[in-house]
Structures are given as C-alpha cells and as structure tokens.
Amino acid sequence: MTHLPVPKTYKLYIGGAFPRSESGRVYEVTSAKGEFLANAAKASRKDARDAVVAARAALSGWAGTTAYNRGQVLYRIAELLEGRSAQFVEELRLTDGISAAAALKQVETAIDTWVWYAGWADKYAQVAGNANPVAGPYFNISVPEPTGVVAIVAPESDGLLGLVSVIAPVLVSGNTAVVIASEGSPLSAVTLSEVLATSDVPGGVVNILTGSAAEIAPWLAGHADVNALDLAGAGALDWVDLEATAADTLKRVLPPQNGVPAATLSRIGFFTETKTVWHTKALI
C-alpha cells in the first residue's frame, strides 16, 4: 500500500509562532512549470505590524545576549540546515525550476554563509570599534551596536540563499528582523523559519512574511518603530518611493542589489550604530 502524502500548510512566522495571515488570504505557489504546489499565506498590513511588534519585543533580549552566545546560535542554524538539506533541495527544485545539483549548491552556500557570519559575532566589534586617543584625561571607546528593528525585502531569486544572505548579517550584531520572503519562492522561506524556530533563535528575532512585497513593503518603510530598511530584493518595486517614505523616520536604507548579496563585513556594519563612551580619568 502506498503512503498518501500529507502536505504542509505554509504559514507566516511571527514572534516564534506560525500564524495564518490575519486577513485569511492565501496565494497559489506554483512550480516553474505552473503546477500547483501550495497555498502560502498572503501577509497583510496587520501581519506586518504584528511582526514589527514581535521584533521590537525581542530586540533587547537578542541584543543583550553575549556575542559568543549569538555566534553559537547562528552556527546552530547551520547545523540544523544541514540536516534538512534534502527538504530544501526538493522545494527549491520545484519552486525555482532548477536542477537538484544547483539546488544542493544553493543549500550548501546558504549553510556556509551562516557559518561565516556566525564566526563574526564575537569579532566584528574588534574590527569596527576602537579606542580613541583624545586630548584629555578621558577613557574613550567606540563600539558598534545593533541599529534595532530591520525590515528586509529578500531577493526574489534563490529562495533560500537570498533569504539567508539578508537575514544573517542583520542578526550578527543583535538586530531583529522582519523579512518579506521571495514572492515566487516562499516555500523554502517557511521551511527556514521552522529551522530558526528549533535552533535556539528566540521567538521574534526573525519574523518572516510571505505574500506581496509591493503590498507590504510600504507599510514597513513608513513604520515608525522600524530603524532600518534593506531593499536588497526590491529592485522590481517602486523602491525610490520606499526610500523616500523611510526618510520620514530617517531610517538607514540599503538600496536594491542585483541577485543575491555577497556575504560581506560591510553588510554587518551597515546595520550597526557606533556608540562612543567618554569616561573621566582621575588626575593622580
């Protein structure tokens, strides 16, 4: 007797839970050949706002963990991703219409990207910060700190790697994120959220929305409790308008990129603020 498959319901990932869209809306995800694969949740403005609330609530805890701890948690994601490799290959093959070999390569690159960024967690502050030799009796030091809540439009291509390439650098320094996943390739995003939920990433640190970026991104760009905006995958949207909207609250904005952003130290640094502390020295 053959086993009748049990398909998964693909839902949002907000505050560590997997809710459906409050709007009750879904959209059809099809294979590259146009066959029905799943109904993904179509996030609404309310879902986006809920995600920002969750991300803000998680910020002080995540930013307050030790850098060593954050590095271990990010490394843990790589470990669990490795174990789920086959599932990601299957989903990417279907949604992106790529060969199993290409899908495997993407999964492997995603795993290595987590490992690379994980290692930076307890080092980037040493590279980006420094003591300052001021002309007076003061101890003076500059250190990078997380910017806060980062809203991200993930790349439309490479459903898994695109997502990892924009989430990982944001998490390294202790930011929390609200991410709009690739509209056409959302399945691996939802599966990645299952990995995050089981790899010691506290709920709310990463929130993943599936649906229409064109519909949700403007709400995030204008949201007063979002500190930065990564438009990596927004090249096909009216991203200039998003950047202009973000100016109302003086968000830090990273403009669109072609394809998947490379893993760079500057991507970590962009979502940090330099804090400089002066402390008096006794005159002895």
- Compute the least distance from the CB of residue 224 to other proteins, in Å: 8
- CA angle 62/19/75 to nearest 5° reads 35
Q: Measuring CA to CA, how many Å separate 103 from each of 18, 80, 184, 195?
A: 26, 17, 16, 18
Task: Specify the stretch interacting with other proteins by CB under 8 A; choose among 8-16, 175-183, 185-193, 252-260.
Answer: 252-260
CA distance 194 to 197: 5
For residue 135, the 8-state DSSP code is S
Our CB check for other proteins shows the closer of 118 and 178 to be 118
Contacts with other proteins by CB under 8 A: the residue count is: 45
Contact pattern from residue 195 through residue 224 relative to other proteins, giving x for each residue in contact according to CB under 8 A and a dash for the rest: -----------------------------x
CA distance 115 to 131: 29
Task: Specify the stretch interacting with other proteins by CB under 8 A; choose among 35-43, 93-101, 122-130, 183-191.
Answer: 122-130
Our CB check for other proteins shows the closer of 41 and 178 to be 178
CA distance 140 to 182: 44
Our CB check for other proteins shows the closer of 27 and 116 to be 116
List the one residue from 142, 157, 199, 212 that touches other proteins (CB under 8 A). 142
List the one residue from 9, 31, 99, 132 that touches other proteins (CB under 8 A). 132
Looking at the DSSP bridge assignments, the partners of residue 130 are: 142
Q: Measuring CA to CA, how many Å separate 170 from each of 66, 154, 266?
A: 16, 12, 11
List the one residue from 31, 126, 198, 274 that touches other proteins (CB under 8 A). 274
The answer to whether 273 contacts other proteins (rule: CB under 8 A) is: yes
- Compute the least distance from the CB of residue 2 to other proteins, in Å: 41
- CA angle 6/192/256 to nearest 5° reads 130
The answer to whether 101 contacts other proteins (rule: CB under 8 A) is: no
145's enclosing H/E stretch is strand 138-146
- Compute the least distance from the CB of residue 117 to other proteins, in Å: 8
Q: Residue 107: left if φ>0, alpha if ψ -120 to 50, beta else—which one?
A: alpha
Q: Binding residues for other proteins, per CB under 8 A?
A: 109, 112-113, 116, 127-128, 130, 132-136, 138, 140, 142, 147-148, 224, 227, 239-241, 243-244, 246-250, 252-253, 255, 262-266, 273-280
